[in-house]
Amino acid sequence: MIEQVEEILLVLDDKLSKTLSVLKEDYASVRAGRANPHILDKITVDYYGVPTPINQTSNISVQEGRCLVISPWDTSLLKGIEKAIQVSNIGINPTNDGKVIRLAFPQLTEERRKELSKQVKKMGEEAKVAQRNIRREALEALKKLKTDKLISEDEYSSYEKDVEKSVADGIAGIDAAVAAKDKEIMTV
């Protein structure tokens, strides 16, 4: 009986931490005015017939804080990388000098910062909704154990508090991630 409860709580903690990890990965691709190589993580280029992430075909470095330099290991990829960046909708036009591609990150306008801040908060809310759904699943599983008379009412109450505490900690982690990204975006 107790093993089933431990399993439920382990799955709960695992899902809560994955939700936070996914949120942080999504935040890495939000442009905050400074050059960030992670903005290219989801952009793929055709590499010998296989869609491959740019970071697996090139060396990406930050130059002077506001410029990304992409040096492909195979220079025949330059045109493909340039085209992939243009259609990716990251809002930056690449410049190709025949050897490397440069992405100059412009200063964000106040209006764009506010827009990005709203987007970041919306992503945070979606992560909180996901965590609440995870809480509901865990509580339903515990309730089933209680109705099957595998755990008592008191044990159920105790485990319910454990679930609530885990979810509260998860939501606090999301709030901290949202605040950190919002601060990064709003810093000029």
Q: How far is CA 4 from CA 12, 132, 142, 147, 185, in A?
A: 12, 21, 9, 14, 44
Residue 130, pLDDT score: 93
* Residue where one domain finishes, among candidates 104, 132, 153: 104
Residues 92 and 114 in one domain: no
**Domain enclosing residue 97, as ranges:** 37-104
Q: In angstroms, rounded to a whole number, what is the distance separating the alpha carbons of residues 127 and 174?
A: 7
CATH code of the domain in which 18 resides: 1.10.132.20
Each residue's pLDDT tens digit, 146-161 = 888 888 888 888 989 9
CB 166 within 8 A of CB 13: yes
pLDDT tens-digit profile of 46-76? Answer: 888 888 888 888 898 888 777 889 999 888 8
Query: What pLDDT, on a 0 to 100 scale, did the predictor assign at position 188?
Result: 61
